[in-house]
Amino acid sequence: MPSPLASQPRTFAQAPPSTDPRFDRDRFFLKQKLLSINENYKVHGDGDEVLLHVRRPAKFFQNLMATGVAAVGILVAVMVGVGVGFTVSGVAGVIAGLVVGLALGAAAVIAGIALSPLRELLFCRDERLSDLALHVSQDGKFQFPYAVFTLRDSNQAVLCTFRKHVLWDILRRRWTVESVDGMQRWLVQEDSWMFALLRRFAPDLIAVFLRTNFIFSTSDGKKLGEFNRKLSFRDSYVLDMTADPQRSFDRRIAVAMGVLLDTGERR
């Protein structure tokens, strides 16, 4: 399925409030389909009704080509570096070989990243993925130290931007949600510092039982909801926004954030 952005101009028009009854609720249940090339999810309400079908296209061949180019480039870098090291005698040869090898290796990695496809998520109202409701797209590949994604509605009007600091992720996963004007509106982060550190540094026998849950809050820390992983054979989550009865946190944004927390964090 081609990207919905392929044939539509880029726009930064702000999306209007949702009138879709699928988002007129406070609890959502997210289930991932197993044994699938693409990452597929279903979003349910409190009953068995499927509200949304979600897909993250695998783009297998594009990723394979990017990985192959990087791997071949690194192999060539090693061979050239070794060759330079043997050609130039003494310590100077070792240093020259390392410099050339590292430079070529870095170039190979950059080439692989440049060839890799941007990540995206499609939220559709039907199983055939023909009725698009929401679309999340990665803004760029070279944004270090940030990872940035933009959420749009079916008309490609922007709802928000999701942003995380990848270095901060080393200690605790945290996303900020920004409005179209760039103001930080909400914060989504791991449930606590203690559990975040235990998940990273505790022995595997302990860490494996610590499910990664997230808290949704205002930018000043007022709790609005939770995204919790359920104990089940397949990935299954509950997005509970009952702490926000006024629905100040747009439910479209909350649902998109929930899926991104799973697939974007590669959990």
Residue range 161-175, pLDDT digits in tens: 999 998 988 999 999
- On the question of pLDDT at 122 being above 90, the answer is yes
Q: How confident is the model at residue 9 (pLDDT cuts 50, 70, 90)?
A: very low
Q: Over the stretch 244-253, which tens digit does the pLDDT of each residue have? A: 999 999 999 9
What is the domain range of residue 74? 62-115
Judgement on whether residues 235 and 132 belong to the same structural domain of the protein:
yes
- On the question of pLDDT at 12 being above 60, the answer is no
Q: Over the stretch 178-207, which tens digit does the pLDDT of each residue have? A: 998 889 999 999 998 888 888 888 877 776
DSSP letters of 182-235?
S-EEEEEEES-HHHHHHHHHS-HHHHTT----EEEEETT--EEEEEEE--SSS-
Q: How far apart are CA 129 and CA 6, in angstroms?
A: 16
pTM: 0.81
Strands 158-165 and 236-240: unpaired
Judgement on whether residues 133 and 200 belong to the same structural domain of the protein:
yes
Judgement on whether residues 45 and 125 belong to the same structural domain of the protein:
yes
Does some domain include residue 8? no
Q: How far apart are CA 26 and CA 42, in angstroms?
A: 17
